[in-house]
A and B are shown apart, each in its own frame.
Chain A
Amino acid sequence: MAEADTIRCDACPVLCHIKEGRTGACDRYANHAGQLVRLDPHVVLERAVSHGEPVVPFLEASREWDGTMVRTPETFVTAIGAGTTYPDYKPAPFIISSKVDGADMVTVVTEGIFSYCGVKLKIDTDRFLGPEQNLVRAQDEPVGHVTTSEYGSQMLSLGGVHHLTGGGKREGRVTCETLLDLCNGKAVELAIDAGAKLVAQAGRPPIVNEAREERMRVGCGSATIGMFAKQWFGKVDEVVVVDDHITGVLSEHQAGKMLGIAATGIKMKGRRSTPGRYFQVAEPGTAWGGTNITDPLSILSEWNPKVAWAGLRLLMVSTTGEHYAYFELNEALQPVEKDLPATLAESVERIAENCEPALVSVLFMGGAGGSLRAGVTENPVRLTRSVRAALTRVTCGGAPVYVWPGGGITFMVDVTRVPENAFGYVPTPALVAPIEFTMKLADYATLGGHVDSVRPLDSILRDENRRRTAHKAENPWPLAPDANTKAAK
């Protein structure tokens, strides 16, 4: 039985044989490259605890109470793990008072169940992900669609009530799982109909068709010409910046004209927009500048023999500097590829250097419904008005949110600013997200709050079953008087 890659663990009398890369029966000791190693005992305990707990009132909850946020000497209690009272119209699980600069503040802490929710994905890429409006799928189920493309990024809209509860049973479950994973910072595989496959994870580079996107383009092709024209002047006769959106041509571009760059007789394929700017030089794709071309010369027609000359120097480059090629025209005015001169290599590197890292951004978006608001106040619409009037601050796991104008309390939050594993789900399916409303005690009373249920902060902190987590430095402190709440005078 004892094979070459197996070791014998003597940590306990079970004396497991453990294969390379595996753990023993306890899941605590492992064979790591032939060495017996102990895994973190804490993690195991956590798991043992999560395996089994009698259900107790949520105040005594032990699994992943994920959250008090500590910032000495103040503590903000987040809603993560707080539980919710849906569908009971009862006061929210925690209504906590604390003194901030002498003023009595109240934070109403609850977890919202959002079946009307979704995530907005911003994928930094020039590559063609798929036609607008096409379905985005996870595990073959439709979970969202391709929406608009904004500067350097493709937006996807996932979730929403139609996929969560309006489609098939499996569709709802897969949608919920996809949203949950994205919100909790996990990687998710998505496939776009008639488009690309991608791996998306909040705060990480997107992986499009198995290629990791490194850089966001510095600008469109035309903008790139504008930015780098001076650096090219005198070192090259013509530059084409290949871009699926707007391909730029130096000699025809306003920036080139300003520098007095001579016409070159170049002829571009595609549709000319304004001088030096071309649309649709090729089909969208995942090659040069978000087009489908691998040979840059394929977007050029014959050179005008009356203008072009033998020895003309041509640089072709993509908007990220990832693709480039250098040519010189021969006697027959045919471009012949040559090594990139060092003086031009610098400008190509500069393009790359000026591209920001390509990332996937995940914004959770949901609306606080009537019952959730009822947990805060007996008169839910007053909460909406109070948020509108900036008397009440809304946070999600302590992270700042953007509240949409218009009716209801519809908010968006960058999931990377929310503490880990803040989101949960219920099998309905729907997402469970933390939401906190912070306001002055006096304002809380005015809007019909459950003032009888207010508890002092100390009573929460005495309970040890609270996960304390560090305040994220990039987030404004939720209890700071001026974060975005007007002090009611």
Chain B
Amino acid sequence: MRERAVIRMLPDGRRLHLHDGPMDLIVEAFGAEECVHAAYAAASARFAHVLDELCGELALLRRQARAGGEAPRGIVARRMWDAVAPFAEASFITPMAAVAGAVSEEILGTMIFAAPLARAYVNDGGDIALHLESGEEFSVALIDRPEEPSLFGKAVIRAVNPVRGIATSGWRGRSFSLGIADAVTILAGTAAGADAAATIVANAVDLPGHPAIARIAAREIQPDSDLREIPVTRAVGPLRQDEIDEALARGLAKAEKLAASGLICAAALHLQGETVSTGVSEVSALRLPTSWDFPLERSHLHA
């Protein structure tokens, strides 16, 4: 039976929790009380229809995106399509690679349209859309493994930075990855763009044919997976330092290319305790700790 979407406030009374099928969103807006209320009401009303819209075009959204191919019609689906289009020529990618970011963007857009807000974020399982009025900022902590989080960096995103989307991809996450990165975090202009780019960069952090990496065809695990017979990473054994460096270098080369072409603002790549990054100077506050660079706070943005 179809379950109804869950729309509720979290126990803190400040954050909105939206859940429907595979979508799980945490929403928070900052501003005048009545504005926050109006924004949450608008987000909830919009959210109730998103999954049905997407599922109406699911078969198309699971197919490889190709330039000039059939484009979807729904507004969220179009956002997904647009986000993956820049990668479609060089890589196998389906619009599903940007679904979480696109949903976050859609809900955030609805909220901003409904009421003036100083700041707001919509977080769909780590794929985050941000809204910042002039002078506002968000602090974001980066964690490596969702099940055993440790901060590996912290970013302060200010209104003057072009960043409005944050996404993370890695083989440990809920979505499949072709690569071996524990986490690749992308800061980009849009959440959908960050989402698609995180997938691409995480896929590039790889050591093809390495015996310590276990892979299995995506459809062996999820028969409906858009990745079909493509082998996805299921386990990564301990790697030597030079292997870690090599895999990260491959991913970093990809990230630098995307940064140079303006598709992303910054990237932090994490593999077995090592972190490399690009675009840090653009987002001046992104700090990657070498040791105790940051105050330890136990709240995390898996971003």
The CA-CA distance from A113 to B83 in the complex, in Å, is 42
Q: Is the CB of A6 within 8 A of B24?
A: no
Q: Is the CB of B241 within 8 A of A169?
A: yes
Q: Is the CB of B52 within 8 A of A11?
A: no
Asked if A310 is an interface residue, CB under 8 A from chain B, the answer is no
Task: Knowing A51-B146, A113-B296 are in contact, say whether A11-B1 is a contact too (CB < 8 A).
Answer: yes
Q: Is the CB of A464 within 8 A of B12?
A: yes
Counting chain A CB atoms within 10 Å of each CB, the highest count among B55, B174, B221, B296 belongs to B296
Q: Is the CB of B223 within 8 A of A3?
A: yes
Q: Is the CB of A60 within 8 A of B58?
A: no
Residues of B128-154 at the interface with A, using a CB-CB cut-off of 8 Å, are 128, 138-141, 146, 148-152, 154
A-binding segment of B37-45, B118-126, B196-204, B278-286: B118-126
Q: Is the CB of A14 within 8 A of B21?
A: yes
Residue total for A at the interface (Cβ-Cβ under 8 A): 65
The CA-CA distance from A356 to B241 in the complex, in Å, is 45
Task: Knowing A1-B223, A13-B2, A140-B238 are in contact, say whether A61-B296 is a contact too (CB < 8 A).
Answer: no
Q: Is the CB of A54 within 8 A of B296?
A: no
The CA-CA distance from A82 to B146 in the complex, in Å, is 19
Q: Is the CB of B22 within 8 A of A428?
A: no
> At the interface, is chain B mostly helix, strand, loop or mixed?
loop
Q: Is the CB of B297 within 8 A of A61?
A: yes
Asked if A87 is an interface residue, CB under 8 A from chain B, the answer is yes
| Choice from B11, B141, B220 contacting A464 with Cβ under 8 Å | B11
Asked if B273 is an interface residue, CB under 8 A from chain A, the answer is yes
Asked if B295 is an interface residue, CB under 8 A from chain A, the answer is yes
Asked if A64 is an interface residue, CB under 8 A from chain B, the answer is yes
The CA-CA distance from A270 to B151 in the complex, in Å, is 57
Q: Is the CB of B273 within 8 A of A173?
A: yes
Q: Is the CB of A49 within 8 A of B26?
A: yes
> What chain A residues lie within 8 Å of B58 (beta carbons)?
14
Asked if A307 is an interface residue, CB under 8 A from chain B, the answer is no
| Choice from A25, A47, A54 contacting B222 with Cβ under 8 Å | A25
B-binding segment of A116-124, A290-298, A419-427, A444-452: A419-427
Residues of A126-174 at the interface with B, using a CB-CB cut-off of 8 Å, are 139-140, 169-170, 173-174
Residue total for B at the interface (Cβ-Cβ under 8 A): 59
Q: Is the CB of A54 within 8 A of B28?
A: yes
Tell me how many residue pairs across A and B have CB atoms closer than 8 Å. 175
B-binding segment of A16-24, A196-204, A313-321, A361-369: A16-24
> What chain A residues lie within 8 Å of B297 (beta carbons)?
55, 57-58, 61, 83
> What chain A residues lie within 8 Å of B303 (beta carbons)?
52
Q: B249: shortest Cβ distance to chain A, in Å?
A: 17
The CA-CA distance from A189 to B77 in the complex, in Å, is 46
Asked if A339 is an interface residue, CB under 8 A from chain B, the answer is no
Asked if B17 is an interface residue, CB under 8 A from chain A, the answer is yes
Binary interface encoding of chain A residues 440-475 relative to chain B, with 1 for a CB under 8 A from any of its CBs, else 0: 000000000000000000000000110000000000
List 29 A–B pairs whose Cβ atoms lie within 8 Å, in order of A's numbering.
A2-B223, A11-B3, A11-B21, A12-B21, A24-B222, A25-B222, A25-B224, A26-B22, A48-B25, A50-B146, A52-B26, A52-B126, A52-B128, A52-B303, A53-B301, A55-B300, A60-B299, A61-B297, A63-B149, A83-B297, A83-B298, A86-B296, A111-B298, A113-B296, A170-B273, A426-B296, A427-B273, A464-B11, A464-B12
Binding site for A on B (CB under 8 A): 1-3, 10-13, 17, 19-22, 24-26, 28, 51-52, 55, 58, 121, 123, 125-126, 128, 138-141, 146, 148-152, 154, 174, 219-224, 238, 241, 272-273, 289, 291-292, 295-303
